[in-house]
Amino acid sequence: MMVDPNTITGLLITQSVLLIVAIVGGFFKLNYDRKLLQSQTAAKIKEIEHNIIKQTELEFIEEQLSAFYGPIQMLLRTNESLFKKSFDTDVWESVRKNILLPNNNKIAEIIVNKIHLLEGNEIPPSFIRFIEHAYLWDAYKDVESGFSQAYFKKNATFPRKFASDIDIGFKVVRQKYHNAINSNQRNSI
């Protein structure tokens, strides 16, 4: 039995077309899968970058609270309380020399060494005035009379605005901290 050459040619053409369609279809499927994988990878990378940025921001805020605003806030509140309780008493000189002066020096040291943790772009003038106050008060620690009139005449008294600026900064950073924590909790759900 002899097969018609047109039939063989028709079968070969049909099989060739099917093979070409399968190859082209496979190529399009492979290309689609590659683009889908690239898109998914890019989205995952973006998510990871976002999480790293959020974590870094949270760590910076935590450092602002734990290494700057928190310690200054605690030392200021302690000094304020002890000043009120001991001024014009028999323990005043001891409290001034042994507690208030060292606390002021610690605050000044925190400001000088951790100023990068300050909230905002500018150093409030009250910070400079506080450092002046701390350094001058420390210089008077060995003066017999404790406080001298010259100290007050030099306008180096405690700058009340400093405590206010610290309170405001502390509240702003605490709010940022709570917002970041809440945002992270929502994103992890």
Structure tokens at 22: 């399968």
Which pLDDT value is given to residue 145? 59
67 in Cβ contact with 117 (< 8 Å): yes
Q: How many angstroms from the chain centroid is the CA of residue 97?
A: 35
Which pLDDT value is given to residue 16? 85
Q: What percentage of residues in the chain have a pLDDT greater than 90?
A: 52
By residue count, the chain amounts to: 189
Which pLDDT value is given to residue 59? 94
Query: For residue 19, is it left (φ>0), alpha (ψ between -120 and 50) or beta?
Result: alpha
Which pLDDT value is given to residue 173? 97
Mean pLDDT score of the chain: 87
Q: What is the C-alpha end-to-end distance of the chain, expressed in Å?
A: 74
**What's the mean pLDDT in 8-17?**
82
pLDDT-derived band at 138, boundaries 50, 70, 90: confident
Angle at 4 between CA 10 and CA 1, to 5 degrees: 135
Q: What is the pLDDT of residues 55-88, one digit of tens each?
A: 999 999 999 999 999 999 999 999 999 999 998 9
Distance CA(29)–CA(44), nearest Å, equals: 22
Residue 19 has pLDDT above 70, yes or no: yes
Residue 105 has pLDDT above 90, yes or no: yes
Residue 152 has pLDDT above 80, yes or no: no
Distance set, CA 112 to CA 18, 61, 66, 118, 138 (Å): 78, 18, 16, 11, 16
Which pLDDT value is given to residue 139? 80
Residue 174 has pLDDT above 60, yes or no: yes
Question: In sequence order, which ranges of the chain are alpha helices (DSSP H)?
Answer: 5-63, 70-86, 92-95, 101-114, 125-139, 149-153, 160-187
